[in-house]
Amino acid sequence: MDCPRITGYTEEAKEFLDRWNDSSEYITVHTSGSTGSPKNIHLLKSDMKISAKATNDFFGINSSSQLALPLSISYIAGKMMVVRSIMADCNLHIVSPGLDPLKGLPENIRFNLIPIVPAQIPGLLSHINLQDRLENIIVGGAPTTANQEKLLSAIGVPVYATYGMTETSSHVALRKIGSDYFYTALPGIEFGVDERSCLIIKSEAASYIELVTNDCVSLISPTRFQWLGRVDNVINTGGIKIFPEEIEKKLSPLIDNRAFYISSRASEKWGSEIILYVEGKDFDKEMFMAEAINYIDRKFIPKDIIAVKRLERTKTGKIIRR
């Protein structure tokens, strides 16, 4: 297939474009499996077009824009960059996925939009004068740490954390790192909450109309919310409901050089008690316990630390909580 506006054209891209241009109304997409078993779902091409247009409108992507794709097209984030380029009829530069998202991209082009995942942040930060090469960055796929966000906010390029899922054809909301605490809806999207305080995504144009999530939020307005954590991760300890993600955010400066997550186990005294899983057998537990009080309330300090050689991950690099 001749695609003159795509450079770095791959077999993966060809396969996706063949399916995009066939007579089927949907595309089969793989979910990552970070919150359940991986599965295949059917996304309507019409929904993907709506999502792509919303992102293009937000970032002002048009036929003169330059987009970069350093992610795999096997997953929704990569597929949607291709769809955005098709909808805007603009240039898309595909490079092999790797820890350095700029590797292989021409240095004489300033890219209007590039998507990355947290694992690529160190590689991105290894480059200087990023404002000369990039206009906007979106980062998703997994939560960013407090230290990562601090570093990203200082590079002179707007960086946006994304909120969305495969079922919504990528993100439905964005949060500007370094200045915003809340996620703001893309054009055409509104939000509500259910009785669990879990987010409801509403779209009059998309086929799903309303999609109930398992993400607990603080709803600020119909178009803004603060993400708190997954309802299925909530820990009830001593009658207090705790979001592990909030504790992880506060502890990340103390454990930023390695992967970790907060979990729980049964406790006769508390019902459940907080524990910390951390990657690396050489983790200094005594130092952590001594320093943790400076980062979180004493009652939220883990009762135990379980250090493992390597935490289990999905194919896309997301940590699997156990």
- Tokens 């949060």, located at residue: 175
The CA distances from residue 45 to 12, 42, 135, 200, 203, in Å, are 18, 9, 28, 22, 16
Going residue by residue through the chain, which has 322 residues, state the pLDDT in tens, using 9 for 90 and above.
445 589 987 889 999 999 999 999 999 987 765 555 567 899 999 999 999 999 999 999 999 999 999 999 988 999 999 999 999 999 999 999 999 999 999 999 999 999 999 999 999 999 999 999 999 999 998 888 888 999 999 999 999 999 999 999 999 999 999 999 999 999 999 999 999 999 999 999 999 999 999 999 999 999 999 999 999 999 998 888 899 999 999 999 898 778 999 999 998 888 899 999 999 989 999 999 999 999 999 989 999 999 999 999 887 678 888 7
Condensed to tens digits (0 to 9), the pLDDT of residues 106-123 reads: 999 999 999 999 999 999
Distance, in Å, from the CA atom of 114 to the CA atom of 134, rounded to the nearest integer, reads 8
pLDDT at 39: 75
pLDDT at 33: 54
- First and final C-alpha spacing in the chain: 44
Condensed to tens digits (0 to 9), the pLDDT of residues 37-73 reads: 567 899 999 999 999 999 999 999 999 999 999 999 9
Of 11, 166, 14, nearest to 75 (Cα)?
166
pLDDT at 9: 79
The CA distances from residue 322 to 36, 116, 218, 233, 267, in Å, are 11, 26, 26, 10, 17
pTM above 0.85, yes or no: yes
Residue type at 301?
Answer: I
pLDDT at 1: 43
